[in-house]
Amino acid sequence: MSKQEIENDAQCADPHIVVIGSLDHMTDTKVVIDYEGTSGPDLITVTRTDFDPNSGSIGVALSDGLRAYAFTRAICPTCNNTNTQGDGAPRFTTIEVTNEDGTVTRNKTACATCDGKGTLKVLPNPQSITDPDHIDTVDSLQQGTYGADVPMASMSRAGGMSGALDDWNANITHQTASFVNQKGEFVECGDVVQHFNTDYACEDNNYLGVLVGRTKGSTYTSVQHGPKIQPYLDAARAAGLPHNVYGTNRGRDAILDIGIGDSRNPQEISDNINRLMGRAPDTDGNFPSNPMQDIADSGTGRRGSVINFGLQVKHSFDGAFTVNIIMERLICTNGMVSTSARSMVSISHKGDTMARVDDKKLAAAVMAMFSDTWDEMRMVDKMNDIPILGADVDRVLALLCNQKIAGFRYPGLSNIKQRDGSDYQMSGGKKFRNFLDGMENPNRAWVRVGDDFADKRNTLNHVLNVLTGLETHNPAARDGMGGLIMGSTPKPTTHASKQEGLQAFHRVCRAIQNSAIEDYKNSGSDLSLPDYIAENGIPMLMEVDRAEAATVSGGKTHQFTWAEGSILPTIEVVSADLNRDVLRSRVLTTQYVAVA
């Protein structure tokens, strides 16, 4: 469809009704707007689903504190779209007339205002909007094009329980819980606090509004959404980033989504983070950059899937203030997306904790944390540019075992000769063998650098995936005779005790990466980073090669010996006396293949 055709379509459609006013009150399905019509103040009721989807049922905030609401139709104020006889006329009135011959004729009369339709496309008391400050907004609302040029990630507008949106900064009142006794008096009932959203105040709820969140003890300090969300909203506006702020769950939660960019344009993301942090670009319009990142960028330029990045700031009357990094990945061509969140900040309402937080300082800290996390995520992505092949796999393994990182140990040698009489089997060293398994079989569920992640295979990213996978999944390993060293059921675990191991693996992989990048940077080489590494190796890994022969005790009956220039040791079973005679031995190699 050409641009012209789209415009014609838009012109053919009925223009939206637009009124400027304020919220009278709302319900789960309807919004009542207070506005100034040409013949005086009036109220108009609109079903939530009839609002323009771009401006939404909470309307568009105007600079003077009023709101502009756009909708396709309003409920007829005369009959209120019902047939019950209320204040106004019913939608249809049936008058029965008994004729002289005794027959009955029914005369059906429709509501004069809406002709029995129940809804109106033209208001009986329309508004004349002439304020020049409002004209542009009103025009685009009437044409249904408001906000259409600002694409928002689908992470935005995630509705609440009902899917209905509320004003993010709704007026939430709190009062001590009470009930009405038989005399019609309010009686306070204990040391508890309840919150009400007065946007919902109407006759049905004694003008209290709707109850928000759970009833709280008196130690709960009520904190309005405004001061919690505003510093982030100010930062997003100042940085000119697409954002969306809204309330859900009848005002219980206020949510601010800030779009930062997508992974196709890392420079844009980096610049946007700088803007969010309130940093100014230099005279050429460039922000200060991270030199390590620049070097990492000179790799192959291979890219993973497109990921949208953003921040989601949420404050809830039910007890918490959270900031999450949202990563949204398109998972198939029909536009389905998967969203994952990485928690950065979570503060719960306990005592006056929330009230004591300096929101501006916290906002600055969050921006800085996001910047660090983003840099870190990018560096991990750039691990794809560090090849880990052949002897470097041995070196990584030796490094982990020599330093006993997160419990890595060399296997021992058992007393049992293998069934074919060829050798003694290895015992223990489960992580050692799992590591090899994961490097040789990238399609293992706990590794996941198989065909879908081909860029990662045989790279430092593959190494990190293997290490992370064996820590979180604890896969089983086969011993030398085909027996199974039990692991837990291979399913992800998120136990806090795993965190230490995960951090240790992350640290060691980043150290290897930094070593490679620094060496490359100092060399001034014209080669790409992966080509340079393939030719020159990685300094930190090459240091693993033994400069001279060595022996390290592995306990009463075991020791490990290294020949000069070797990477992995020979496992030796020794006599349990001072002589430590070598009874049998086996050269440890990563060429070990489990017996099926």
Which residue stretch of 109-117, 195-203, 466-474, 499-507 sits at the interface with Zn ion (rule: CB under 5 A)?
109-117
Amino acid making up residue 297: D
Listed in sequence order, the residues at least 6 apart from 115 whose beta carbon sits closer than 8 Å to its beta carbon are none
Compute the least distance from the CB of residue 77 to Zn ion, in Å: 8
Q: Of 33, 70, 114, 235, which one interacts with Zn ion (CB under 5 A)?
A: 114
Compute the least distance from the CB of residue 78 to Zn ion, in Å: 4
Q: Of 111, 276, 447, 533, which one interacts with Zn ion (CB under 5 A)?
A: 111
Compute the least distance from the CB of residue 138 to Zn ion, in Å: 26
Compute the least distance from the CB of residue 109 to Zn ion, in Å: 11
Going by C-alpha positions, the residue among 41, 111, 108, 40 that lies closest to residue 75 is 111
Nearer to Zn ion among residue 78 and residue 83 (C-beta): 78
Tell me the three state secondary structure of residue 260. strand
Q: What are the structure tokens assigned to 350, written together?
A: 């306990």
Nearer to Zn ion among residue 114 and residue 400 (C-beta): 114
Distance CA 273, CA 66 (A): 32
DSSP string across 363-423: HHHHHHHHHHHHHHHHHHHGGGGSB--THHHHHHHHHHHHTTGGG----EEEEEEPTTSS-
Which residue stretch of 74-82, 156-164, 175-183, 441-449 sits at the interface with Zn ion (rule: CB under 5 A)?
74-82
Q: Is there binding between residue 113 and Zn ion (CB under 5 A)?
A: yes
Nearer to Zn ion among residue 111 and residue 236 (C-beta): 111
Nearer to Zn ion among residue 79 and residue 254 (C-beta): 79
Nearer to Zn ion among residue 76 and residue 235 (C-beta): 76
Q: Is there binding between residue 120 and Zn ion (CB under 5 A)?
A: no
Report the half-sphere exposure of 523 (CA within 13 A, side-chain side): 20
Q: Of 74, 76, 255, 460, which one interacts with Zn ion (CB under 5 A)?
A: 76
Q: Is there binding between residue 254 and Zn ion (CB under 5 A)?
A: no
Q: Which of residues 481-510 bind Zn ion (CB under 5 A)?
A: none
Contact present, 392 and 519 (Cβ < 8 Å): no
Binding mask 430-469 for Zn ion (x = CB under 5 A): ----------------------------------------
Q: Is there binding between residue 155 and Zn ion (CB under 5 A)?
A: no
Q: Is there binding between residue 79 and Zn ion (CB under 5 A)?
A: yes
Going by C-alpha positions, the residue among 383, 398, 387 that lies closest to residue 590 is 398
Compute the least distance from the CB of residue 92 to Zn ion, in Å: 9
Going by C-alpha positions, the residue among 278, 280, 271, 266 that lies closest to residue 308 is 266
Binding mask 31-70 for Zn ion (x = CB under 5 A): ----------------------------------------
Compute the least distance from the CB of residue 365 to Zn ion, in Å: 56
Nearer to Zn ion among residue 79 and residue 258 (C-beta): 79
Distance CA 273, CA 375 (A): 10
CB atoms within 10 A of CB 290: 14
Listed in sequence order, the residues at least 6 apart from 448 whose beta carbon sits closer than 8 Å to its beta carbon are 442, 465, 469
Distance CA 190, CA 178 (A): 8
What phi and psi, each to the nearest 5 degrees, are found at residue 430? -60, -45
Q: Of 27, 47, 78, 536, which one interacts with Zn ion (CB under 5 A)?
A: 78
- Interface with Zn ion by CB under 5 A: which residues? 76, 78-79, 111, 113-114
